[in-house]
Amino acid sequence: MILTYEQLLSEVKLNGLKSISSKIQAVALGVFEPLDHVRLTMGFKSLGLKPFSAKIQNVPLSVQGEREFILTPTTLSLDDAMNTHFPGDFIYGGAFVLEDLMNHKPLDFRVFGYPTDLMDRQELRKSISVDELHYGYLDVELRKELHPTAYVNGSDSLKFSENGAVKNNFQSINFKTSGLLQSIIDLASHVETVFMAGTTGILSSLGESVVRFSGDFLRMDTLYASGLSLKGYGVMLALGLGALIRVEGNVHILDQIISNEDRLYKVVDIAAQKELSRIPFKQFRDSMVVIDDGAYKVGSLTSLYLAERIARRLAGQE
């Protein structure tokens, strides 16, 4: 039997851990949220010149060797005048290039380089789509966050964080991680299958507090990836990740799965940079948080809807 994390939690709550431990083979976890450390390495078969700089849709790329480029989702378009001096609308950036590539859209690609050592610098400009890439792999790095944080804003004006716009005068609370991400990191050594935006990835590195997954970008599904433009903050990529955690023979790992009631979030006033309280994750999931008798609406950038869909897909229920 394979259960999603949520199904497991409700089953344990209803009948206790013992009732299920002998029957369960794996637990499926899914998340869909903005990720900070993502990079796409893409390569061409040949370019005909030795590159020293490159841009795609006017978003700068990092050049690696003779025909390989790296794109990060937070890189901004060079002609985004609104954001030259202060954070503005962030209409386009690396995350949107990634999304456009997944959608097989033709994109403007410019490379500057030298055809040979003795010839002048030249520009190679052409329209490319993901279909012309020789390879592309997406690396995602997850860092263990001992105290997941949610933000509230005590000032008079709207403030911005990686969690999006946080309303003024303590009117709302914003959070990012679904909590499940932490479970993936905690249990990474037991990961059997990694879901990366519609395709199967691999666990490429397992450290004390950092876990890296890598997946074939050319097979990723745009349904599970989305460029986000956070007004006043920046551009990020929301990605669907999932993991099938093997339980059979390792029943003890069920003890490491933390319930939504027990996983506590640090609530920080983003204006004063002061911790206000610690709140169970369950309240965040229920869209209303209570601090000192005051109830606050909760906003997030984490799609629990898509997270559960990924988990059900991994568990073979969808």
| Whole-angstrom distance, CA of residue 290 vs CA of residue 267 | 11
Task: Please list every residue from 148 through 177 that binds another protein, using CB under 8 A.
Answer: 164-167, 172-174
Beta strands 172-175 and 294-300 are parallel
Asked if 308 interacts with another protein (CB under 8 A), we say yes
Asked if 304 interacts with another protein (CB under 8 A), we say yes
Asked if 86 interacts with another protein (CB under 8 A), we say no
Query: Minimal CA–CA distance to 110: which of 129, 123, 95, 97?
Result: 123
Asked if 270 interacts with another protein (CB under 8 A), we say no
Closest distance of CB 151 from another protein, Å: 10
Structure tokens at 176: 């990012």
Q: Binding residue for another protein (CB under 8 A) from 71, 301, 314, 315?
A: 301
Could you give phi then psi for residue 185, rounded to 5 degrees? -70, -45
Closest distance of CB 198 from another protein, Å: 14
> Closer to another protein at the Cβ: 90 or 109?
90
Asked if 32 interacts with another protein (CB under 8 A), we say yes
Q: Binding residue for another protein (CB under 8 A) from 92, 137, 302, 313?
A: 302
CB-based contact 51:281 (threshold 8 Å): no
Tell me the site size for another protein, rule CB under 8 A: 31
* DSSP secondary structure, 151-218, as one string: EE--SSS-EEETTEEE-STT-EEEE---SHHHHHHHTGGGEEEEEETTEEEEEEEE-SSEEEEEEEGG
> Closer to another protein at the Cβ: 67 or 309?
309
Asked if 254 interacts with another protein (CB under 8 A), we say no
Residues in touch with another protein (CB under 8 A) = 32-33, 164-167, 172-174, 226-231, 238, 285-287, 297-308
